Structure 1
């Protein structure tokens, strides 16, 4: 039996605690691990223990990460169940994050877009992944 690899999306940040609020409190991801001063980097890895993906955010000591280069840098989460999608949007709002207009109008038709503290965007898409 072959197994599919797990995927980690990793990016730098200047705002680890703010990202923890956004992706943890808002989206409901859990801290899978956290590290301080690992070869000059602090970081958090967020996800769900059994999910095939997780997010890693790192802060390099003495270096600035900057912000997202455009409004179209996205993470897209497919939530086909209407109740699950509505609960996810409500959770983001309850954590203090309101939807923003999407750069691509299609995203507003099929979901809700939220901007994280670094300017990157996350879409809660109310659709099934069909490919």
Structure 2
């Protein structure tokens, strides 16, 4: 039986800017792209072989809204301290600055970064234990 895979899909205002954030900042790879598929352009980003990836789309002639709140989060748990610090350095080297989290819980052991559409990504320096 195939392993279940998760795709998180959402619109973006700017494919190039969102690719820069997730590829150059977070280290994702471009897994695929498409143009003018029924009026949509898109890109899939992730890590080859991982059970998840992200899809971002632009609908031609339509501007996607920004994130509705600061609590729309993707949280990545990075349990290794050195790997977590390297992830944070990579984001900063790509010109992204950590923002204070709306929920202070995430600031205790992590860093929050806002993507070009206002959605936030938390790099949590801890293991997921459940």
> What TM-score, normalized by structure 2, do the two folds share?
0.98
Is 1:18 aligned with 2:14?
A: no
Measure, in 1, the Cα distance between the counterparts of 2:3 and 2:69. Answer: 31
Q: CA deviation at 1:111?
A: 0.3
Aligned to 2:31, what secondary structure does the other structure show?
A: strand
Provide the rounded CA distance (Å) in 1 between the counterparts of 2:50 and 2:83. Answer: 16
CA distance in 2 between partners of 1:104 and 1:4 (Å): 33
Aligned pair count reads 130
- Corresponding position of 1:33: 32
Is 2:110 the partner of 1:104?
no
* Gap regions ≥5 residues in structure 1: none
Q: Distance in 2 between matches of 1:127 and 1:76?
A: 11
Deviations 1:101-124 (A, max 9, x none): 000000000100000000000000
Whole-angstrom CA distance in 2 between matches of 1:42 and 1:103: 32
CA–CA distance in structure 2, aligned partners of residues 127 and 120 of structure 1: 21
- What is the rounded CA distance, in whole Å, between the counterparts of 1:74 and 1:11 in structure 2? 13
In structure 2, what is the Cα distance between the partners aligned to 1:40 and 1:78?
Answer: 36
User: Secondary structure of 1:99's match?
Assistant: coil
TM-score norm. by structure 1 comes to: 0.97
CA RMSD, Structure 1 to Structure 2 (Å)? 0.7
Structure 1 residue 3: deviation in Å?
4.2
For 2:8, what is the secondary structure of its paired residue?
strand
Give the distance between the partners of 1:44 and 1:58, measured in 2 at CA.
7
Q: Which runs of 5+ in 2 are unaligned?
A: none
Q: Distance in 1 between matches of 2:50 and 2:75?
A: 15
Q: Structure 2 CA distance, aligned partners of 1:3 and 1:71?
A: 35
Query: Which portions of structure 1, spanning 4 or more consecutive aligned residues, are displaced by more than 6 angstroms?
Result: none
Q: CA deviation at 1:4?
A: 3.1
